[in-house]
Amino acid sequence: MPNFTKVLLTGANGQLANSIKSNAPESVEVIALTRQELDICDEPFVAKVLSRFRPDCVINGAAYNLVDKAETDGAADAFAINAIGVAHLARNCKMRDIPLVHFSTDFVFDGQKKSPYIESDCTQPLSVYGASKLAGENIVLSSGDINYVFRVSRLFGPIELHENSSGQKPAGNFPLAMLKLAKTRPQIRVVNDQIGTPSYTPDLAKVLWQLFPKSNGGLFHLTNSGEVAFDEYARTIFHLTKVDCEVIGISSEEYNAPAKRPPYSTLSNAKIHQLGIVLSRSWQDALEEYLKTEFVRESLKSTSQ
């Protein structure tokens, strides 16, 4: 079983990467690099960075996750980061015999199943984004048995609030988006026919660090417990924050987003439970904690200025 002491973390400004770093055991040195410090699409630079730091594990937090933009005019960027860049990491990790940890998504499924998806279920992405993530996870898993892929879902958690070098602010997450919209709208239309599990990045990160000493690699599903449609998710956010905003449930067809989403994409945590690790907290309990954080208060304050 691996006992990591020096981990290189890419995409350090992302929600999940931020939580992975902040929840790392004291015994682990985490070298957290932003996209500006390590662009995984630049393979010579990937090789140079790995040779310089000599980590005993690489955790890839870099990802292209603009689902609708990938469908309209971002397919090349999605595959460049989610597949080709991942291949650069996988190849260079394999040369050095070190594990690569990568994150995929519930969007690799078509949503036709009526019960939580397990790792061995057939994949059939409905979108360019989902296809690019599936390509990435296949690359990682085929590159070596010591690699890990974690499929995650509907992430929310602390993120960096500053602009990046291109002047772009972070995309945020669903709870923040809803609360920001509620500042200017008395009612919000939200799809009511897409069901899955919102997942709190600090909770996932804690499980991640518990899992490494108990597994030699593989494919895992990792979420909080429970499931919910997006419209009810939004209502829960407003209820917990005492925000007066009406949520009107509409169909995905009526919403008409460029990219298709799976109507049902709840992921089963059974495989992780078999290792003796239980991520028992519900998404509701995690959400309630998140909405009380200073991070949420500060991010909402920054949008009103």
Active site residues: 129
In angstroms, what CA-CA distances link 242 with 2, 176, 284, 300? 45, 14, 15, 15
Contact 171, 65 (CB under 8 A): yes
Distance, CA of 83 to CA of 41 (rounded, Å): 9
The owner of tokens 């879902």 is 153
Distance, CA of 96 to CA of 81 (rounded, Å): 22
Q: Residue 29: count other Cβ atoms within 10 Å of its Cβ.
A: 14
Distance, CA of 141 to CA of 164 (rounded, Å): 31
Contacts 24+ apart (CB under 8 A), 22-25: 22/158, 22/202, 22/205, 23/202, 23/205, 23/206, 23/209, 24/209, 25/209
